[in-house]
A and B are shown apart, each in its own frame.
Chain A
Amino acid sequence: MKNTTQQSRRRFLKQSTAVSLMGGLSLFGIDGFLPGRQVYASTCSSTESPKSLVCIFLRGGADSFNMLVPRGERYSEYSAARGNLAIPLSDLTTVIDPQYGSFGFNTLLPGLHDLFTNGNLAVMSNAGPLIKPLTKDDYLTAVANNDTGTIPQSLFAHDAQQKLWQTGAGKVNANLSFGWGGSIAEQLAPCNSNNAITPGFSIAGSNIWLTNQNVLYGQLSANANLQRMYGYEAEQATWIPSFSRISRAEKMNAILSLSQSSDNPLEQSAAHSISRAINTTAMLEQAVSQHPVNQMQYDANNGLAKQLHMVARLIEAREQLEMQRQVFFVHMGGWDTHGNQNGRFPALLTELNEAISSFQSAINSMQLSETVTAFTASDFGRTLTNNGDGTDHGWGSHQFVFGGAVQGGAIYGQVPSYLPGSTDDSSESGSNPAGRIIPTTSVVQYGATLAKWMGLSDSDQLTVFPDLGNFSVTDLGFMQA
């Protein structure tokens, strides 16, 4: 076993050298990974197991109040608020939380139910962007006084709330905010003995969550295989005669270098996009092709499962890639269910359930479950009340954390009242309160608990989440120590 690893390591390093010599491209610096710009308090020992963290972002604002539903005496409150969108009791499973009693998962989420009952899935109840703990009175007073300092900016707007969830900040200020996934990756990057590979990967395109000061994350497609770059790599596209191909690659890389130091920053950025593509595909093509993870089974149209499949392949390859820490971002759209929610929701839950179940099964079969944690996040929760056939933008929401290291089988945080107009509802008192729930747990607490599991020290957690100091509890307890 050790032999194999060393062989593959040698092969990999050889390949890396080839890439770095090609066209004089550096794997370090801006298009590779640049560690050690800063001394971090966080450490990781070489004897420790590798760890991978996966963010599953549900774009559009998932109606999580219909994923996990209270049973018992709270059910009638829930049912009245939701009207014709309420999930009937017959469509709910039964789980028991030690503190809050009887709840049910939507029966379209059997995989989540099973993970919960096996102790591998925890529910984070009513989380959302908060700068500091906020009561309804605080909120309404701030709104009335146009006090923009204490409430998260641009509540209820999709892009703004995605940014707040992904940065952990209370302000939408792209110039200053980085993503907490990227910041975790940046702080833990020195743990990776192969620092030529970025620790952060998106299989879902650009996102804020993986950004950090150098935007060092890779962006792969969910397709089965990576394509290496023709033209720039002399040994690709070998049907082109060598009299053209070799000199062509040399000159193209020279032109690329010229553009990387162009006076025009747009040309520079285009050049860096190309060189990142060359490097990323060259570094990973072999590792990905050697780890097909064929045991992960799912419907071919399940876009989220496809992305998680690529994540599983990179996780299985992490030792070969000499990565001690990995951070991933995947996403799923379609959750903005303003209309025809009863018609659209089942397909969304079915896709989510299958993706999560098949991914966790694959991780289990690799015997890596203790070292892989995945969690959900979304723009916002939705209104408790409905607009005839759908729901509108809310604030607090339930989220799910799963994996072998999760202290599962329990609901964390506080379960809100389901009564429109209650003290949990941000709506002004009036005849028709909407049920936009004020979060009782902040994104920064949720994120810091995950960051701590990944190995971030208390002080580094504060660097990543500057508002964390406003909250008395910084470890919500849903991860094993």
Chain B
Amino acid sequence: MTFESPKSLFLTATLERNTWIDIDSRGTNMNTDRFTMRLKMMFFLSIVIMTSPFAYALDSDGDGVDDTVDNCIEIANAGQYDSNGDGFGNVCDADLDDNGFVNFADLSLFKSAFGSNNADADLDGNGFVNFADLSAFKLMFGKPPGPAGGDSSLSQQQAARFLTQATFGSTQADIDHLVALGNYEVWLNEQIAMNVSLQLPYVKAKGNTSNPTHRHEIWWTNAIEGKDQLRQRVAFALSEIFVISDLDYSLANSQYGVSHYYDMLANNAFGSYRELLEKVTLHPTMGIYLSMLRNEKADPARNVRPDENYAREILQLFSIGLYELNIDGSHQNDASGNPIPTYTQSTVEQFAKVFTGWNFDGTNEWVSNDLTPYDKESPLTAWEQFHDTSEKTLLNRVLPAGQTAIQDLQQALDDIFLHPNVGPFISKLLIQRLVTSNPTPAYVARVAQIFNNNGVNVRGDLGAVVTAILLDNEARNGHTLLPKQFGKIKEPLLRLTQFWRALNASPGAGSDNIYRTGAMPPLHINLILGQAVLKSPSVFNFFLPDFLLFPNNNQGSNLLVAPELQIMTEGNVAAANNDFHQSVYSYNNRQNGNHAITQINIDRELTIAPDTDNLIHHLDLLLLSGSMSPTMKQQIKTHLDSLPQNDEGLYYKVVDAIYMITASPAYMIQQ
């Protein structure tokens, strides 16, 4: 049987293009090229499956099985072959790892089964896994499995939910675009290919390196206006894992360097974790922040030892964490039930020796009190005379004595990179920043497996990890599958970006062309939101990943965490609430003459407003991804319908609706 439709040809072409982009952007492994070639060859083979043109209304694929009982509604399979008995026929079930989505992990499984008689990968049920199955697989790539497997349409609500996780907030235009694409994977690859919005050019154009104002301004501009939304959102997540902060006075005077660091995170957001780790390690701002800069080898005569700061934090916070993990992120415990430490104080001391002998580029001074004049953009360079050349016993290898600083450093980073903890540790942190505070262990494991192997034998491919996080069935359907634990408290900064993006905000006018609230300029927004980019109180970020949810009801021993809750103090909640109030009521136009303040645009809402239900529906989609409860809708509607039936009443209808939603608990969470 063969099947022919324009849709299938479109998907084939799309997948082919995406795969090119994906793999090329991840070329970190010597084997990649070989796999790329093989995949290209495979994808160019076209197989045509035919369907009957004479389908009954209730038998869409015309295979003689009614849609109501057909285990593949849109793909003919008269035999109803279903090797794993999950109710989805093989011909529409390429979800080989049963995670609810067909992605690179399934491709990897499929590849390993290619040429065998693996029953699950044998999609057409002919007894072996061959090119015909590959062709069928391609049709299902990037989608959930199931009887309606050929249908790729997305609802506006689905698009809005996805964009809330993957961007700084939905706009109507972005929702429409994603719905038109009809496929998350296509959108992801479009985003991954976008040009990077940078900070440094703006910061250099606007001021000197000791003025921290401008890097906050450009962060807001890129978050609100940047086309590369996914990259900017992931860069922000990375900035909360690989933390530097200019609250440290040396970095306050290194704004070019701090901006360059953020740009480095953005540039590497979809690249190799291993490369990123090296760029982070050798970045002069990190060198200053965690004092690896000018760290010197031991001098026992003076009771001097190597500085342990970077050695400890790279292990605890940037890579493997304190305790041995299973692939699903859970702790491995010893016989008495205690978690097993990943390293000891002695390990830290050995890594401290590795990170000796590094200085700013282009200087002949090893010691100086003022760090201002040095190059904060070029990687640190080795000064061998200060490097500890003794043998070093690391996590899983011993570095021999007598190596150079760069040899030691690269081998030590390899040692860290290859530790089995890195996959689950980094994957879980990224899941928590993008999707949900309490991922199921299975979700963490699925993403960690992609970290370990992106499907073409590359470890640490962050683009594949981000894709896996966002395409996972738990990310897409967690709100219905796990309603009592799925989601997260929105980071306060993201409440504001989402608000401004949803309501087409424009920055202040003229020379005040920046995004700022009435109460605070970007530089000081942390005073009411509890966070501002690269301005956390310590390398432990604004909040800890294990901060407990409160109240923690009905969870038994399975207590939930809510990291962002840590900065939602009463003082911050009250001040932010009042600042939002001012944005909605006082700064939705420039009639009052204050040109410096960012204004939202409510023209569109004013035209919708006469129809109360429509207004609520519209704002529900933009601000709550269409998740507003019927009871909340009813409360808002009752209020809006009580307002005077005149122009002033219509105006308050709009601003009250916006404010009541953005001030609600529902807006403070992302599901």
Q: Which residues of A contact B (CB under 8 A)?
A: 30, 59-60, 80-84, 143, 146, 148-149, 153-160, 171, 174-175, 202, 205-206, 215, 218-221, 223, 226-232, 237, 240-241, 243-244, 247-248, 250-252, 254-256, 258-260, 262-274, 276-278, 280-281, 333, 336, 338-340, 343, 383-390, 392-393, 420, 428, 431-432, 434-436
Complex Cα distance, B550 from A158, in Å, reads 23
B663–A221 CB distance below 8 A: no
How near does chain B come to A24, taking the closest CB pair, in angstroms? 13
Q: Which residues of B have CB within 8 Å of A388?
A: 294-296, 304, 307
- A243 and B644 in contact (CB under 8 A), knowing A338-B290, A385-B304, A393-B308? yes
B577–A265 CB distance below 8 A: no
- A265 and B635 in contact (CB under 8 A), knowing A148-B334, A154-B341? no
- Scan residues 646-671 of chain B and give those whose CB is less than 8 A from a CB of chain A: 648-649, 652, 656, 659-660, 663-666, 668-669, 671
How near does chain A come to B267, taking the closest CB pair, in angstroms? 28
- 3 closest residue pairs by CB, A with B: A221-B571, A219-B569, A339-B291
Q: Which residues of A have CB within 8 Å of B664?
A: 252, 255-256, 259
A221–B569 CB distance below 8 A: yes
Complex Cα distance, B572 from A274, in Å, reads 10
B348–A231 CB distance below 8 A: no
Complex Cα distance, B575 from A220, in Å, reads 11
How near does chain A come to B433, taking the closest CB pair, in angstroms? 15
A273–B568 CB distance below 8 A: yes
B639–A248 CB distance below 8 A: yes
- The residue that A269 contacts in the complex, of B250, B549, B554, with Cβ under 8 A, is B549
Q: Which residues of B have CB within 8 Å of A219?
A: 569-572
B631–A59 CB distance below 8 A: no
Dominant SS among interface residues on chain A: loop
How near does chain B come to A134, taking the closest CB pair, in angstroms? 15
Complex Cα distance, B659 from A177, in Å, reads 39
B570–A265 CB distance below 8 A: no
A248–B660 CB distance below 8 A: yes
- The residue that A265 contacts in the complex, of B293, B485, B660, B666, with Cβ under 8 A, is B485
Complex Cα distance, B106 from A302, in Å, reads 57
A386–B562 CB distance below 8 A: no
Complex Cα distance, B488 from A383, in Å, reads 39
Residue of A nearest to B386 (CB): A388
Residue of A nearest to B336 (CB): A149
Complex Cα distance, B293 from A428, in Å, reads 27
Residue of B nearest to A428 (CB): B346
Complex Cα distance, B573 from A227, in Å, reads 10
B303–A154 CB distance below 8 A: no
Complex Cα distance, B636 from A271, in Å, reads 17
Q: Which residues of A have CB within 8 Å of B296?
A: 388
B530–A251 CB distance below 8 A: no
A343–B574 CB distance below 8 A: no
A270–B312 CB distance below 8 A: no
- The residue that B538 contacts in the complex, of A60, A248, A260, with Cβ under 8 A, is A60
Sample of 6 more A-B contacts, CB < 8 Å, known A251-B660, A252-B663: A59-B537, A205-B566, A255-B660, A270-B568, A340-B369, A388-B307
- B437 interface residue, CB < 8 Å from A? yes
- Scan residues 184-236 of chain B and give those whose CB is less than 8 A from a CB of chain A: none
Q: Which residues of B have CB within 8 Å of A278?
A: 574
Which of B455-463, B502-510, B540-548, B608-616 is found at the contact surface with chain A?
B540-548
- Scan residues 511-546 of chain B and give those whose CB is less than 8 A from a CB of chain A: 527, 530, 537-538, 540, 543-544, 546
A270–B668 CB distance below 8 A: yes
B552–A265 CB distance below 8 A: yes
- B442 interface residue, CB < 8 Å from A? no
- B483 interface residue, CB < 8 Å from A? yes
A205–B530 CB distance below 8 A: yes
- B565 interface residue, CB < 8 Å from A? yes
How near does chain A come to B574, taking the closest CB pair, in angstroms? 5
- A229 and B562 in contact (CB under 8 A), knowing A59-B538, A281-B570? no
B671–A264 CB distance below 8 A: yes
Q: Which residues of A have CB within 8 Å of B572?
A: 219, 221
Q: Which residues of A have CB within 8 Å of B560?
A: 265-266
Complex Cα distance, B560 from A268, in Å, reads 13
Interface centre among B346, B483, B666 (most CB of A within 10 A): B666
How near does chain A come to B249, taking the closest CB pair, in angstroms? 8
Residue of B nearest to A391 (CB): B307
- B578 interface residue, CB < 8 Å from A? yes
How near does chain B come to A336, taking the closest CB pair, in angstroms? 7
A269–B291 CB distance below 8 A: no
- Scan residues 312-362 of chain B and give those whose CB is less than 8 A from a CB of chain A: 312, 316, 322, 334, 336, 338, 341, 344-346, 348-349, 352
Q: Which residues of A have CB within 8 Å of B570?
A: 218-220, 273, 276-277, 280-281
B578–A227 CB distance below 8 A: yes
B291–A338 CB distance below 8 A: yes
Complex Cα distance, B34 from A98, in Å, reads 78
- B38 interface residue, CB < 8 Å from A? no
Complex Cα distance, B643 from A59, in Å, reads 52
Q: Which residues of B contact A (CB under 8 A)?
A: 247, 250, 290-291, 293-296, 298, 300, 302-309, 312, 316, 322, 334, 336, 338, 341, 344-346, 348-349, 352, 369, 437, 483-485, 487-489, 527, 530, 537-538, 540, 543-544, 546-555, 557, 559-560, 562, 565-575, 577-578, 581, 585, 629, 631-632, 635-636, 638-639, 642-644, 648-649, 652, 656, 659-660, 663-666, 668-669, 671
B571–A226 CB distance below 8 A: yes
Complex Cα distance, B308 from A216, in Å, reads 37
How near does chain B come to A129, taking the closest CB pair, in angstroms? 15
Interface centre among B346, B546, B552, B635 (most CB of A within 10 A): B635
Complex Cα distance, B554 from A436, in Å, reads 43
**Could you list some 6 contacts between A and B, CB below 8 A?**
A84-B302, A154-B322, A240-B585, A251-B638, A392-B305, A428-B346
A387–B307 CB distance below 8 A: yes
A258–B643 CB distance below 8 A: no
Q: Which residues of A have CB within 8 Å of B666?
A: 255, 259, 267, 270
Complex Cα distance, B437 from A223, in Å, reads 31
B571–A220 CB distance below 8 A: yes
Complex Cα distance, B664 from A258, in Å, reads 10
Complex Cα distance, B456 from A33, in Å, reads 57
A269–B538 CB distance below 8 A: no
Complex Cα distance, B305 from A384, in Å, reads 11
Q: Which residues of B have CB within 8 Å of A340?
A: 250, 369
Complex Cα distance, B486 from A263, in Å, reads 11
B663–A231 CB distance below 8 A: yes
- A272 and B574 in contact (CB under 8 A), knowing A156-B345, A338-B309? no
Complex Cα distance, B650 from A243, in Å, reads 12
B547–A255 CB distance below 8 A: no
A258–B629 CB distance below 8 A: yes
B551–A268 CB distance below 8 A: yes
B291–A252 CB distance below 8 A: no
Complex Cα distance, B544 from A159, in Å, reads 9
Complex Cα distance, B321 from A71, in Å, reads 41
A270–B290 CB distance below 8 A: no
Complex Cα distance, B639 from A247, in Å, reads 6
B669–A270 CB distance below 8 A: yes
How near does chain A come to B295, taking the closest CB pair, in angstroms? 7
B574–A269 CB distance below 8 A: no
- A223 and B577 in contact (CB under 8 A), knowing A215-B550, A259-B666, A274-B665? no
- A267 and B573 in contact (CB under 8 A), knowing A205-B530, A333-B537? no
Residue of A nearest to B303 (CB): A385
Q: Which residues of A have CB within 8 Å of B345?
A: 155-156, 436
A273–B565 CB distance below 8 A: yes
Residue of A nearest to B371 (CB): A340
- The residue that B669 contacts in the complex, of A159, A266, A434, with Cβ under 8 A, is A266
- The residue that A281 contacts in the complex, of B305, B566, B574, with Cβ under 8 A, is B574
- The residue that A270 contacts in the complex, of B346, B348, B546, B665, with Cβ under 8 A, is B665
Q: Which residues of A have CB within 8 Å of B302?
A: 83-84
B488–A266 CB distance below 8 A: yes
Q: Which residues of A have CB within 8 Å of B543?
A: 206
Complex Cα distance, B664 from A229, in Å, reads 13
- The residue that B635 contacts in the complex, of A255, A270, A420, with Cβ under 8 A, is A255
